[in-house]
Amino acid sequence: MSDRRYQELSVEELEQMLHLKKHAQRQERLRRLKAEGRVVEIGGLEPPLMEPAGSEIIGRPSADSVVVNSDAVDASKDEEPGGIRWRWMANKFLLAIEVLAVVGLVVIAYVAWSTTRELNQEIAEVQNAQSESVALPTATATPVIGSVVLPSGHKPPINGRPPEPGEAGDIPAHLLPILDSYVPPPIPTPGPEQARRIQIPALNLDKPIVQGDDWEQLKKGVGQHIGSGLPGQPGNLVLSAHNDIYGEIFRHLDKLKAGDEVTISTERRSYTYIVRDLDVVAPTEVSVMAPTNHASTTLISCYPYLVNNKRIVVYADLAATGPLSNASS
């Protein structure tokens, strides 16, 4: 039809032609859907070819015909009550497993912490009992610095074999041969002037002092470095203990501050030292054990807690001498 003829048509005629064209397209689409099996007819009725002229919707399928979208049908299957219930139960089951896993980890962590705490308490009791029954020896004049690393480390004896992973701890690899060849000096003979007991009121600490600071001696209590100064006498009394094993004796050294008291007792007398300073040093900083010209004490432990790649050092100077102590009681 030429453009001129279109121009001669009225608005109503143009609308009618547009309706007919749309209707033909819809009928064709309906036939295609029917051939594909996506149209379900009810009662064997054919869809009407056309609704009355002027209607807003022409060629619409009747109420007796339903156009079915196969994708929608497949999706609707997932929404069946049985499928929804199954997914709900599966989600609840997975959630329960996750909750049980978290609870299990918490229980394991608590048991490990509780076991460690009980072991430390048992060791502390044994240490206290030993301080009451064992006669401790007196230090002899031997060099103060006898090792290449500070005491209280976590490296056990290795009996000449290379250390296993984790055994060497904070000890530099190039120092391991020297350390392995180091033999602790013998425990000196007993004497009344030897340090027997350490008390730190600020930490609520009261522990025995043993001679020697090797692996075995530090299991028993606070170890005095053999050859270091005597209590109350000019010189540096070097004491060390573990912070996270064998009673965790020196765990809270970092809580001390200048002015806090440290009391060290012998069989005859007690001596009060006043904390002067704290420091964190490398494990090889053995100079902190050097002798002093005045009466002092140096407390050493691994640091930080459970990491132990450094040493915490507390310096204290003699302040007063007390009466006969009750260290043997």
What residues contact residue 30 under an 8 Å CB cut-off, 6+ apart? 39, 47, 61, 65, 67
More confident position, 194 or 13? 194
Q: Are residues 215 and 295 in the same domain?
A: yes
Total domains, the chain = 2
Q: Which of 78, 100, 121 is the last residue of a domain?
A: 78
Give domain status of residue 69, yes or no: yes
Q: Encode pLDDT of 107-135 as tens digits.
A: 898 888 877 777 777 677 666 665 555 44
Give domain status of residue 110, yes or no: no
Q: Are residues 253 and 148 in the same domain?
A: yes
Give domain status of residue 72, yes or no: yes
Q: How far from 124 is each of 2, 100, 117, 169, 223, CA to CA, in Å?
A: 111, 36, 10, 24, 14
Average pLDDT over the chain, rounded to an integer: 76
**DSSP for residue 62:** P
Q: Encode pLDDT of 269-327 as tens digits.
A: 999 999 999 999 998 899 999 999 999 999 999 999 988 889 999 999 999 777 765 54
More confident position, 26 or 55? 26
CA dihedral over 112, 114, 118, 120, signed as positive or negative: positive
Give domain status of residue 300, yes or no: yes
Domain around 200? 134-157+170-179+189-321
Q: Report the half-sphere exposure of 226 (CA within 13 A, side-chain side).
A: 21
Q: Are residues 39 and 153 in the same domain?
A: no
pLDDT reading at 26 higher than 50? yes
Q: What are phi and psi of 224, to 5 degrees?
A: -90, 130
**Which of these ranges, 7-16, 85-94, 185-194, has the smallest mean pLDDT?**
7-16
SS3 labels along 146-203: CCCCCCCCCCCCCCCCCCCCCCCCCCCHHHHHHHHHCCCCCCCCECCCCCCEEEEHHH
Q: Tell me what pLDDT residue 250 has.
A: 96
Q: Are residues 207 and 288 in the same domain?
A: yes
Q: How far from 292 is each of 57, 114, 228, 231, CA to CA, in Å?
A: 108, 42, 10, 13
Give domain status of residue 111, yes or no: no
Q: Are residues 51 and 142 in the same domain?
A: no
Structure tokens at 85: 């219930």
Q: Tell me what pLDDT residue 27 has.
A: 84
Q: Are residues 50 and 141 in the same domain?
A: no
pLDDT band at residue 222 using 50, 70 and 90 as cut-offs = very high
Cβ–Cβ under 8 Å, residues 97 and 187: no
Give domain status of residue 87, yes or no: no
Q: Are residues 313 and 216 in the same domain?
A: yes
CATH at 247: 2.40.260.10
Cβ–Cβ under 8 Å, residues 41 and 64: yes
Q: Encode pLDDT of 162-216 as tens digits.
A: 444 444 555 666 666 666 666 667 787 778 899 999 999 999 999 999 999 888 8
Cβ–Cβ under 8 Å, residues 226 and 146: yes
| 198/306 Cα distance (integer angstroms) | 24
Give domain status of residue 245, yes or no: yes
Q: Are residues 38 and 138 in the same domain?
A: no
Q: Are residues 73 and 151 in the same domain?
A: no
Cβ–Cβ under 8 Å, residues 233 and 227: no
Structure tokens at 106: 């918490």
Question: Counting beta carbons within 10 angstroms of the beta carbon of residue 292, is it exposed (0 to 12), middle (13 to 18) or buried (19 or more)?
Answer: middle
